[in-house]
Amino acid sequence: MNIIEPELLSRLLYQFNIFLKGLSAIPLNIPGTQYHCAMRATDMIRKELQLLLRRRRLELEMKVASPMEDILTYLLVNADENGKLLPEADIVNEMFGLLFAGHDTMRSAISLLIKYLGEQPRVHEKVFQG
């Protein structure tokens, strides 16, 4: 997803952090609970992704975007094995999943890096010396 606009990125990040806080909350969808806030944040993220998807589709129609620009564009232009394009809802779900998977992967990688640097003082020293 090639997001250039800082405002869009900021909105997505804000809502995504609310979503993450609700992952470990008790699943009571009552206004004011973390879970309820996470569900609302999920809806907001999906709406933002849907707007981004529609804008990208328009850019493709106007020949402003390349068909291989990013994963969103790839999902928009490539058909499945039956020759059908993916429905918007499926593309939005894929993008949401990629956002979450990318976040979790990076968080795990950074945590392990810090752990291993703490266990290996000589390596830690070399890393910070350049």
**Average pLDDT over every residue of 70-93:** 91
Q: CA nearest 1: which of 81, 64, 65?
A: 65
* Domain contains 126: no
CA distances in angstroms from 48 to 14, 43, 90, 111, 126, listed in the order given: 12, 9, 15, 29, 43
* Domain contains 15: yes
* Domain contains 23: yes
Contact 52, 1 (CB under 8 A): yes
Q: Residue 10, Cβ neighbours under 10 Å: how many?
A: 10
Mean pLDDT of the chain: 88
Return the residue matching tokens 């993220």. 45
pLDDT at residue 6 in the model: 87
pLDDT at residue 3 in the model: 58
Each residue's pLDDT tens digit, 47-67: 999 999 999 999 989 988 777
pLDDT band at 128 (very low <50, low <70, confident <90, very high): confident
The residue ranges of DSSP E strands in 56-126, in sequence order, are none
- How many structural domains comprise the chain? 1
Rounded Cα gap, residues 13 and 67, in angstroms: 26
Angle at 37 between CA 35 and CA 39, to 5 degrees: 70
* Domain contains 127: no
* Domain contains 11: yes
pLDDT at residue 121 in the model: 86
Q: CA nearest 129: which of 112, 117, 119?
A: 117
* Domain contains 108: no
* Domain contains 118: no
Residue 23 sits in which domain range?
6-95
* Domain contains 115: no
Q: CA nearest 41: which of 9, 10, 8, 18?
A: 18
pLDDT band at 102 (very low <50, low <70, confident <90, very high): confident
The DSSP code for 25 is S
pLDDT at residue 2 in the model: 55
